[in-house]
Amino acid sequence: MTISSGARAGAGDETRRRHRKNGDKALIGKDVRNDENPKNSTGLRTRRRRWTPYVFLLPALVLELVVHFGPMVSGLTMSAMKLTQYQLAHWWQAPFAGADNYKAVLDFDQPVGASLLNSFLVTLGFTVVVLAASWSMGLAAAVSLQRTRRGVGLLRTLFLIPYALPAFAAVITWRFLLQRDNGMLNHILVDQLGVLDDNAFFLIGSNSFWSQCVVAIWRLWPFAFLMIMAGLQSVPDEVYEASSLDGAGPWRQLREITLPMLAPVNQVLLLVMFLWTFKEFETPYVLFGGSTPEQARLLSVEIYQNSFVTWNFGLGSAMSVLLLLFLLLVTGIYLAVTRRRASLHEA
Amino acid sequence: MRHETRGFRIFRRTTLTLLTAFVCAPLFVMASTAVKPLNQVQGEFRWIPTEPTLAPFVDMWTTVPLARYFANSIVVAGLATVLSVAVAVLAAYAISRWRFRGREAFKVTILSTQMFPGILFLLPLFLLFVMVDRYTGLSLVGSRLGLIITYLTFSLPFSIWMLVGYFETIPRELDDAAKVDGVGPVRMLYSILLPAARPAVVAVSIFSFMVAWGEVLFASVLTTEQTRTVAVGLQAYASEANVYWNQVMAASLAVSAPIVIAFLVLQRHIASGMTAGAVK
């Protein structure tokens, strides 16, 4: 909530928030058992009131339990089981493995562990590259459009298309662009610009990492753009005008007004993009069609391989749990650090 | 009027030009390839088709069973959307109009599910479905039902957050007036709140549909050849020995155009809901 007050301090929001607060108070009053209002104080009505919200919540709650939390808990159990395809039909009877699965996936001298470590490092590099590029591009586009007068709506719409395009359609198009013999990129680089002497492979070998990054950036940066645009709208024009009178140029305004005002948006944006990118699956799956090169193998692909290709469910679950722990750890640290910085700022 | 330095103007124009090119290149290739005859996509790449043809849009239905994938996607995404929006409306109504024990906990829980990577619960969910299948005979693996149930939870967090935000803007005086008239909670929802929240409901529906329509990971595991959705089915073109890239592009275009257009038409609604949800 502290974030929203910083990011959306528009006048309209202010009244809405006040409105909401009053509403809250009114509602709290009504929920108290011995309300002063004689109309509501009959036992039956109050009791009905108390369970009504739970009835409305029930479907959502049940679905979340069944699809998210139930599987999460059983996943935790499976990570301590010796589970392969043979026990698939009655997995709950699989032999107990204790910490064996964890030992196996964390033994970096063995193939399984070494492969996991490799994909962890690939994912880390991928996330850093994609996040940095997407954020910078989103910021550059938003700041540029802020000072553009004609065609803003058109460009805004155009920039959002990659975000609206279903992932599989976007990535399969890139797969065509990156083909060695009949793709667009080699045509530009070799035939039109002459930068390369011979057609390069983009979907195997070490280039595949960068190909994957570019595709992911293409899909992700519009989201950063969208969020930063929204954040910029909360900065009143008068602030820029006042600083303009003081002789501040666009660069100084970017440094001294725009970036500080965007801090609350950035805090959420970077976290959300991190979580999305770290679990990215669609891009490698569609781009490489099931045989992801080692240099581009992300963690989610690695877990997928172990679980559904070699059917080593126990190992797959152990890797999943480790991934979850890592994400929780990073999120916790990130929130603690950014919160403290925000509160220091306010003090 | 803000003054703009020369350096900034160059930066601005360069940025917008490069980004436009970056965004447009794949879109252009997608569209132009979709109207090329096969011999023009197999050899050297060319930007402009010399003999444009609509044949790929005809042939794409026979190379792979696209019509079946398409029908599966419509059923799955359609039902998942309807159910998800219904469930989200009820939950958002409870959160926005009542203060009850566990309200904050529920909000946090809902949001946290957004954070967990799908791969974490894909495997246990798959095995859970196998177990349900075995004991109740209710077939969830390889059926559309399993996919519908799964997808409808994917869009729930966003939908609930966005609807709560919108419900909050509907003045409570309306509720109070209705309450005085003796209107119960259910009628209050569908005769007062829902009509007022129509833009938000539309935006949430589009979003839910997009999520279900484009999902690849769960669809790749939870479907069989009979129940495959377009998201996974399009892969089938690419795994043929001879890839018909013109048909792949035609099919991609055909299955994404309706969604993209709907999103762009409603972009302001969806965008404001998304940004509001994320900065809250």
Residue B43 located in a structural domain: no
- Could you give the count of Cα atoms lying within 13 Å of B79 in the half-sphere of its Cβ? 12
Concatenating the DSSP letter of every residue in A194-229 gives ---SSPPPSSSTTHHHHHHHHHHHHHHHHHHHHHHH
Chain B residues whose beta carbon lies within 8 Å of the beta carbon of residue A323: 117, 119-120
Checking if the pLDDT of B269 tops 80, the result is no
Range in A181-185, A230-234, A343-347, B165-169 with the lowest mean pLDDT: A343-347
Give the CATH number of the domain where residue B128 resides.
1.10.3720.10
Per-residue confidence at B128, pLDDT binned at 50, 70, 90? confident
pLDDT mean over A147-167: 90
| Identity of the residue in A88, A140, A320 whose CB atom sits nearest the CB atom of B130 | A88
Per-residue confidence at A191, pLDDT binned at 50, 70, 90? confident
Per-residue confidence at A21, pLDDT binned at 50, 70, 90? very low
pLDDT mean over A251-258: 86
pTM score over 0.90:
no
Selection from A170, A169, A186, A188 nearest residue A178 by Cα:
A186
pLDDT mean over B73-99: 93
Cβ atoms of A171 and A283 closer than 8 Å: yes
Kindly report, residue by residue over B193-251, the tens digit of the pLDDT: 888 888 889 888 988 999 899 898 899 888 888 889 988 888 877 766 678 888 889 99
Please report, for chain A, the start and end positions of each structural domain, with discontinuous segments joined by +. Answer: 98-346
Residue scoring higher pLDDT (A142 or B64)? A142
Confidence at residue B280, expressed as pLDDT on a 0 to 100 scale = 41
| Identity of the residue in B7, B44, B278 whose CB atom sits nearest the CB atom of A272 | B278
Confidence at residue A49, expressed as pLDDT on a 0 to 100 scale = 64
Going from the C-alpha of A336 to that of each of A2, A330, A331, A342, the distances in angstroms are 14, 10, 8, 10
Other CB atoms within a 10 A radius of the CB of residue A308 amount to 17
The reply to whether residue B124 touches residue A159, judged by beta carbons under 8 angstroms, is: no
Q: Would you report the helix, strand and coil content of chain A in percent, each value rounded to 5?
A: 80, 0, 20
Residue B218 structural domain: 64-233
Q: What is the 3-state secondary structure (H, E, C) of chain B?
A: CCCCCHHHHHHHHHHHHHHHHHHHHHHHHHHHHCCCCCHHHHCCCCCCCCCCCCHHHHHHHHHCCHHHHHHHHHHHHHHHHHHHHHHHHHHHHHHHHCCCCCHHHHHHHHHHHCCCCHHHHHHHHHHHHHHHHHHHCCCCCECHHHHHHHHHHHCHHHHHHHHHHHHHHCCHHHHHHHHHCCCCHHHHHHHHHHHHCHHHHHHHHHHHHHHHHHCCHHHHHHECCCCCCHHHHCHHHHHCCCCCHHHHHHHHHHHHHHHHHHHHHCHHHHHHHHHHHHHC
Confidence at residue A41, expressed as pLDDT on a 0 to 100 scale = 43
Residue B250 located in a structural domain: no
| Identity of the residue in A69, A148, A218 whose CB atom sits nearest the CB atom of B22 | A218
The reply to whether residue A169 touches residue B253, judged by beta carbons under 8 angstroms, is: yes
| Identity of the residue in A67, A166, A176 whose CB atom sits nearest the CB atom of B150 | A67
The reply to whether residue A23 touches residue B255, judged by beta carbons under 8 angstroms, is: no
Chain B residues whose beta carbon lies within 8 Å of the beta carbon of residue A269: 278
Checking if the pLDDT of A32 tops 50, the result is no
Q: State the architecture of A98-346 in CATH terms.
A: Orthogonal Bundle (1.10)
| Identity of the residue in B12, B130, B152 whose CB atom sits nearest the CB atom of A89 | B130
| Identity of the residue in B4, B216, B280 whose CB atom sits nearest the CB atom of A147 | B4
Checking if the pLDDT of A93 tops 80, the result is no
Range in A224-228, B28-32, B81-85, B197-201 with the lowest mean pLDDT: B197-201
Per-residue confidence at A118, pLDDT binned at 50, 70, 90? very high
pLDDT mean over B90-95: 93
Per-residue confidence at A17, pLDDT binned at 50, 70, 90? very low
The reply to whether residue A147 touches residue B249, judged by beta carbons under 8 angstroms, is: no
CA A136 – CA A59 distance, rounded (Å): 41
Checking if the pLDDT of B9 tops 50, the result is yes
Selection from A285, A302, A291 nearest residue A123 by Cα:
A302
Range in B26-30, B37-41, B112-116 with the lowest mean pLDDT: B112-116
Chain B residues whose beta carbon lies within 8 Å of the beta carbon of residue A275: 115, 117
Enumerate residues 6+ apart whose C-beta is below 8 A from A178: A185, A202, A203, A211, A287
- Chain mean position to CA A49: 38
Chain A residues 184-203 within an 8 A CB cutoff of chain B: 184, 186-187, 191
The reply to whether residue B124 touches residue A71, judged by beta carbons under 8 angstroms, is: yes
Kindly report, residue by residue over B240-264, the tens digit of the pLDDT: 667 888 888 999 999 999 889 988 8
Chain A residues 114-173 within an 8 A CB cutoff of chain B: 137, 140-141, 143-145, 147-148, 155, 157-162, 164-170, 172-173
The reply to whether residue B30 touches residue A173, judged by beta carbons under 8 angstroms, is: yes
Confidence at residue B13, expressed as pLDDT on a 0 to 100 scale = 92
pLDDT mean over A146-166: 90
Kindly report, residue by residue over A284-312, the tens digit of the pLDDT: 998 988 788 888 999 999 998 888 888 88
For residue B191, report the phi and psi dihedrals to the nearest 5 degrees: -100, -15
Residue B87 located in a structural domain: yes
Domain count, chain B: 1
Residue scoring higher pLDDT (A235 or A229)? A229
Going from the C-alpha of A265 to that of each of A34, A139, A145, B19, B108, the distances in angstroms are 42, 12, 18, 22, 19
Cβ atoms of B153 and A67 closer than 8 Å: yes
CA B216 – CA B214 distance, rounded (Å): 6
Going from the C-alpha of A125 to that of each of A96, A288, B72, B124, B147, the distances in angstroms are 35, 18, 37, 28, 33
Confidence at residue A48, expressed as pLDDT on a 0 to 100 scale = 57
The reply to whether residue A71 touches residue B125, judged by beta carbons under 8 angstroms, is: yes
Which residue is associated with the tokens 């246990």?
B124
Cβ atoms of B251 and B35 closer than 8 Å: no
Chain B residues whose beta carbon lies within 8 Å of the beta carbon of residue A305: none
pLDDT mean over A93-102: 82
Which residue is associated with the tokens 């607060």?
A21
Confidence at residue A181, expressed as pLDDT on a 0 to 100 scale = 80
Per-residue confidence at A31, pLDDT binned at 50, 70, 90? very low
Residue B5 located in a structural domain: no
Checking if the pLDDT of A196 tops 70, the result is yes
Q: Positive or negative CA dihedral for A195, A199, A205, A209?
A: positive
Per-residue confidence at A8, pLDDT binned at 50, 70, 90? very low
